[in-house]
Structure 1
Amino acid sequence: MVANEITIRVATPADLEPLSVLIAASYATLGEAAYDREKLAAAMPLMSRANPTLLASGTYFIAETDGQIAGCGGWTFEKPGNGERVDGIAHIRHFATHPAHHRKGVARLLLQRCLDEAARAGATIMKSQSTLLAEPFYASAGFRRVRPIDVEMSPGIVLPVVEMERSLP
């Protein structure tokens, strides 16, 4: 598939259910090789639902191909988890690609849209809390590993991720 067959549009609150289905399908492929099976099972209901606030932000996007949702992702100036804002720093938010569309350029186009828009909005650094399996993807897009961190999904449910960042032009 070539990149021009993929279209990207701004997500809306009406996209909540189809994006939740896509995110659940995508995150189900995180793999037990990277995550403890029990922790992943406990975290899935918490992380596999689309976030209504992101859907209303205007900075969360849907990639479609042949009329089907192939991926989603966005960015905000608010840090995931606590909403903290630091001038010039933006954050990648809730990226997912449907397993049927892996390695077809979907995530790359979504990421480029996020990087471009964040830079136009005044961001000079983009950060990502990458899953363990997505670290090579972000590294290939110019992100550098900052440090491993644990993300508390809810009390007692913690998943390891990798904090990454890259400069924006």
Structure 2
Amino acid sequence: MDRAIATLQQPFLSPAEIAASRAVMGLDTQLIADGTYLLAECESRLAGCGGWSARATLYGGDHSTSLRDAAMLDPATQAARIRAMYTDPDFTRRGLGRMILTRCEDAAREAGFRRAEMMATLAGEPLYRACGYEVIEPVRSAPVDGVSVPLIRMGKAL
């Protein structure tokens, strides 16, 4: 995750925004506990990861406690969350992100969700648009040491 944040965000964020991203983004281990986090291995290396959630948290890792909300969502009226999608920079442009995203969407659909939402990074937005996601709103993270990170809330019908 750190390699993805540090490398793939460089064309979009300043060094200060990348540093703030590390404090905002990351793995929420609730996804692992819920059994909704996927890993992709390629060439005997961890190449990508991502998950989905039926909980209210939209984004943020374990260290982002102010962003976390473990409340369960209602699949009939609320959107599943696509969470913590990362591809190692050595493995981009191979379809791993799309594969993980598709599996997450399929699992959310099987759980009864009709919609999915995510908080996308600027680097991830082109992939998500290509996969049918639409911009709901551009946002900025809460400031970390006075620096906020530009993000994009996106959604899609499943």
Give TM-score scaled by structure 2 length.
0.82
In 2, Cα distance between equivalents of 1:54 and 1:86:
14
Considering fraction of residues, name the structure with more strand. 1
Query: For residues 151 and 46 of structure 1, do their structure 2 counterparts lie closer, same or farther at Cα, with a shift above 3 Å needed?
Result: closer
In 1, Cα distance between equivalents of 2:21 and 2:126:
22
Contact 1:132 1:160 in 2 (8 A): yes
Deviations 1:40-90 (A, max 9, x none): 223325534x33222222000001123221100000022222425442210
* Cα-Cα RMSD: 1.9
After superposition, residues 9-158 of structure 1 pair within 5 angstroms as: 23-48=1-26, 50-78=27-55, 79-80=57-58, 81-83=67-69, 84-88=71-75, 89-152=79-142, 156-158=146-148
Where 1:51 maps in the other structure, the secondary structure is coil
In 1, Cα distance between equivalents of 2:151 and 2:20:
16
Query: For residues 57 and 155 of structure 1, do their structure 2 counterparts lie closer, same or farther at Cα, with a shift above 3 Å needed?
Result: farther
Where 1:152 maps in the other structure, the secondary structure is coil
Where 2:149 maps in the other structure, the secondary structure is strand
In 2, Cα distance between equivalents of 1:86 and 1:149:
22
The match for 1:13 is none
Q: What is the deviation of 1:156?
A: 4.2
Where 1:110 maps in the other structure, the secondary structure is helix
In 2, Cα distance between equivalents of 1:45 and 1:147:
22
Q: What is the deviation of 1:27?
A: 0.8
Query: For residues 121 and 41 of structure 1, do their structure 2 counterparts lie closer, same or farther at Cα, with a shift above 3 Å needed?
Result: same
Structure 1 unaligned regions, length at least 5: 1-22
Give TM-score scaled by structure 1 length.
0.77
In 2, Cα distance between equivalents of 1:43 and 1:144:
22
Contact 2:8 2:89 in 1 (8 A): no
Q: What is the deviation of 1:37?
A: 2.0
Contact 1:43 1:153 in 2 (8 A): no
Structure 2 unaligned regions, length at least 5: 59-66
The match for 2:64 is none
Deviations 1:70-127 (A, max 9, x none): 1000000222224254422101110100011000011011001000000000111100
